[in-house]
């Protein structure tokens, strides 16, 4: 058997939705009926109709008109996300007070902002925002877990967006510091409420009655 054989796009993609080349995507566009390669630039501005051209679950977020490539998370990120899903999901399933979603779930705030938080909670009061394709407006509660590729770079922009659109509560989980920064919305701005370490407990504002012992998500 030869060690080399002909390459085709089908083999490169291995029947997946897309392939990653640098920070660009190779995929089959059903709209154009052919294989295409993205040409996304940091210097350009984009909108929701551009985002919609990307394949399902594409690793991009649209933040203030910029299409931002999001690298795959590390295992510690995924462990924390899973534990948070179990803690919060068990509580809301018991109390039937809303729904929990995890990445990649699109949250569309406007034509220039579509994000994929690690976890988000939509209460019964906001259930009309849950569409077939995405969440169409602000969830009650958003959690994001810092990773090396995203640490601090876009969080200020996203925090301003969450404040503007009335997300009630926002957590930034910091794995390397084993801590959680808790923000509450006041007059369309996010304000730091608590910097919780492993010995602390967080009482959620957006999910009434839910409390989290921080040490439960940091494997200590």
Task: Compute the average pLDDT of residues 18-24.
Answer: 89
pLDDT (tens digit, 9 = 90+) per residue, 96-123? 999 999 999 999 999 999 999 999 999 9
**pLDDT attached to residue 147:** 79
**Predicted confidence band of residue 219 (pLDDT cuts 50, 70, 90):** confident
- The pLDDT value recorded for residue 186 is 97
* Model pLDDT, residue 15: 59
- Measured in whole angstroms, the distance separating CA 11 from the mean position of its chain's CA atoms is 29
Which pLDDT belongs to residue 14?
A: 65
Q: Given a cut of 70, is residue 142 above it in pLDDT?
A: yes
What structural domains does the chain harbor? 9-60 (no CATH), 75-217 (3.90.1570.10)
pTM: 0.91
pLDDT grade, residue 1 (50/70/90)? low
What is the arithmetic mean of pLDDT over 126-145?
97
In sequence order, what DSSP letters do the residues of the chain get, joined into one string? --S-----HHHHHTTSS-EEETTEEEEEETTTTEEEE----TTS---HHHHTTSPTT-SEEEETTEEEE-PPPPHHHHHHHHHHHHHHHHHHHHHT-EEEEESS--EEEETTEEE--SEEEEEGGGGGGB-SSSB-S--SEEEEE--TTTTTTTHHHHHHHHHHTT-SEEEEEETTTTEEEEEEEETTEEEEEEEE-TT-EEE-SSSTT-EEEGGGGTT-
Per-residue pLDDT band for 16 (boundaries 50, 70, 90) equals low
pLDDT bin (cut points 50, 70, 90) of residue 5 is: low
| The predicted structure's pLDDT at residue 148 | 64
Alpha carbon distance 185, 164 (integer Å): 9
Q: Report the pLDDT averaged over residues 142-153.
A: 76
Give residue-wise pLDDT tens across range 28-87. Answer: 888 888 889 999 998 999 999 999 999 988 999 999 999 999 888 889 999 999 999 999
Over the stretch 157-212, which tens digit does the pLDDT of each residue have? 999 999 999 999 999 999 999 999 999 999 999 999 999 999 999 999 999 999 99
CB atoms within 10 A of CB 199: 8
Higher pLDDT, 32 or 95: 95
């Amino acid at each position: 058997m030869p060690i080399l054989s002909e390459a085709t796009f089908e083999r490169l993609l291995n029947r997946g939705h897309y392939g990653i080349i640098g920070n660009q995507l190779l995929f089959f566009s059903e709209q154009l009926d052919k294989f295409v390669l993205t040409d996304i630039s940091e210097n350009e501005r984009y909108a929701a109709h551009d985002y919609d051209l990307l394949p399902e679950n594409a690793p991009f977020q649209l933040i203030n008109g910029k299409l931002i490539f999001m690298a795959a998370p590390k295992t510690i990120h995924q462990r924390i996300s899973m534990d948070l899903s179990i803690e919060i999901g068990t509580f809301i399933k018991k109390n039937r007070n809303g729904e929990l979603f995890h990445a990649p779930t699109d949250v569309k705030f406007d034509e220039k902002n579509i994000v994929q938080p690690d976890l988000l909670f939509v209460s019964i009061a906001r259930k009309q925002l849950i569409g077939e394709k995405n969440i169409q407006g602000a969830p009650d509660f958003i959690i994001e877990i810092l990773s090396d590729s995203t640490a601090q770079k876009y969080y200020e922009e996203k925090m301003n967006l969450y404040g503007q659109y009335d997300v009630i509560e926002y957590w930034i989980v910091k794995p390397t510091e084993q801590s959680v920064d808790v923000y509450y919305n006041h007059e369309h701005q996010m304000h730091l409420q608590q910097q919780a370490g492993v010995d602390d407990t967080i009482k959620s504002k957006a999910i009434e009655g839910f409390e989290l012992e921080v040490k439960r998500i940091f494997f200590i």
